[in-house]
Amino acid sequence: MIRIANGSAFWGDSAEAPLDLLRGGPLDYLTLDYLAEITMSILQKLKARDPRAGYAHDFVGVIKRGAKDIVERGVKVVTNAGGMNPVGCKDAVAAVLQAAGYGGRIKIGVVTGDDIMPQLDQMLESGIPFTNMDSGEPLSAIRARVQSANVYFGAFPIADALCRGAGIVITGRCNDAALALGPMVREFGWKAHDWDRIAAGTIAGHVIECGAQCTGGNCQADWESIPDIANIGYPIVEAEPDGTFVVTKHAGTGGRVNVAGVTEQLLYEIGDPKSYITPDGIADFTTIRLEQRGPDRVRASGIKGRAATDQYKVSISYSAGFKAVGTLAYSWPDAHKKARAADKILRQRMDRLGLELEAIHSEFVGVNGCHGEMSGEPANDIAEVVLRIGARAMEKAPVERFLKEIIPIALNGPPSVTGLNSGRSKVDEIIAYWPALIPMTAVAPQVDVASV
């Protein structure tokens, strides 16, 4: 049995969780996921400004603080913190380890090759259309606006790095679940065609990839009774060579691991549950059996899988215009009426200005901001309502003009209003996401392992 934890669900997750996992009890592997769909485009911009940047630098802090546990106890670390610059990330981590006196005592593995931006035009010319999986459009429609293009690699490059002695593995874009599946492939000697076990390891990775969302965080079932959320433990999978696993957390931590919470996470961000496709195989969620095996222990078994497809998924980001959002808080009396009046007045002013906006969207926070029309009518004496109004356009200028029109309405519109953050609102570039496929034969991961 090996223990694999996940201490980061996204870039910006708890800075303490990775350290708490390292120090809170027995552990073999610590995985850290930093990459959401849009993170790569942000990292691409950082790299364009500074060629040494472009990775999730929070990870360097984790290594700095956790170096003793990682090097001396031998807890292995697997992360996609490399983002757009895995080599740069490796250099920064190596520098930190050398400064701490651990030079020559640990190897770092780096997985590259996922960044296909430099070859994108050549690939298009060779006949790979990168058709949008949602809309069916060919990439040529937005080629000039593409900012990044990365292949999602699977678990085997990670396992390869571990086999070659890496104590830390840094990847660029890869399948989230691969961070946990890679160590299982390495430790248990699973083969690429062990489809059931590959599926089981993928599902184990899927359960923990969102961190505390499987240990009581963001859990709807009986949420008020979940103990000590302030001290919530991040998840650990106890993986067995036969593909069964137990989801748990360190003793003495808060939160809860039960069947209801793990099931919520199993269904998080999935499509057809019979065909959960990763680069390593296809997992069938309708075969999972869950059972409570003692406090904060949920066992999964029975998982079946099928053969992988012959394509990798590609995540392409592209520039898609500009947007801005402003907020105005109206108080009792007539809070909702005033907010609605302000919305109407603002729209009349936008009309008069003739701004070329693609969309204006208004929500009344406290009334219908989350659930729209299904929220129903608020009480007449509602204490306060926030008008949240946003606009979007291909050009920046009309969005800037829109934003300038919001603050004045505090003085030239309905009464008893305060600004929240509208004074600080800014125009954001919209980075849109273009999911596509690429034949596996068109690209190859590269694995390098070297001593610090």
Partner 1 sequence: MKIQLVKIAHARSGDKGDDANIGLLALKPQDYPVLVREVTAERVKKHFAGICRGEVERYELPNLLALNFVLHHALDGGGLVSLRMDNQGKTYGAALLRMEIDVP
Chain residues binding partner 1 by CB under 8 A are 37-38, 134, 213, 218-221, 260, 263-274, 285-290, 320, 323, 325, 359-361, 363, 365, 369-374, 388, 390-392, 428, 430-433, 435
Spatial distance between the Cα atoms of 175 and 172, rounded to a whole number of angstroms: 10
Considering the complex, state which of residue 225 and residue 441 has its C-beta at the smaller distance from partner 1: 225
Radius of gyration of the chain (CA): 24
CB of 224 to partner 1, least distance (A): 13
CB of 288 to partner 1, least distance (A): 6
CB of 226 to partner 1, least distance (A): 13
CB of 10 to partner 1, least distance (A): 11
Considering the complex, state which of residue 263 and residue 309 has its C-beta at the smaller distance from partner 1: 263
Residues contacting residue 189 through CB under 8 Å, at least 6 positions apart: none
Q: Report yes or no: 18 and 62 within 8 Å, Cβ to Cβ.
A: yes
Q: Please, which residues bridge with residue 428 across strands?
A: 323
Q: How many CB atoms lie within 10 A of CB 385?
A: 26
Listed in sequence order, the DSSP H helices in 246-332 are: 259-266
Q: How many CB atoms lie within 10 A of CB 113?
A: 18
Q: How far apart are the first and last CA of the chain?
A: 29
- Which pair of tokens denotes residue 333? 């009396």
- What does residue 362 show for φ and ψ, rounded to 5 degrees? -120, 140
Considering the complex, state which of residue 242 and residue 429 has its C-beta at the smaller distance from partner 1: 429
Considering the complex, state which of residue 323 and residue 338 has its C-beta at the smaller distance from partner 1: 323
Q: Please, which residues bridge with residue 115 across strands?
A: 150
Q: Report yes or no: 231 and 6 within 8 Å, Cβ to Cβ.
A: no
Considering the complex, state which of residue 37 and residue 242 has its C-beta at the smaller distance from partner 1: 37
Considering the complex, state which of residue 95 and residue 277 has its C-beta at the smaller distance from partner 1: 277
CB of 424 to partner 1, least distance (A): 17
CB of 300 to partner 1, least distance (A): 11
Q: Report yes or no: 116 and 443 within 8 Å, Cβ to Cβ.
A: yes
CB of 61 to partner 1, least distance (A): 26
Q: Report yes or no: 157 and 172 within 8 Å, Cβ to Cβ.
A: no
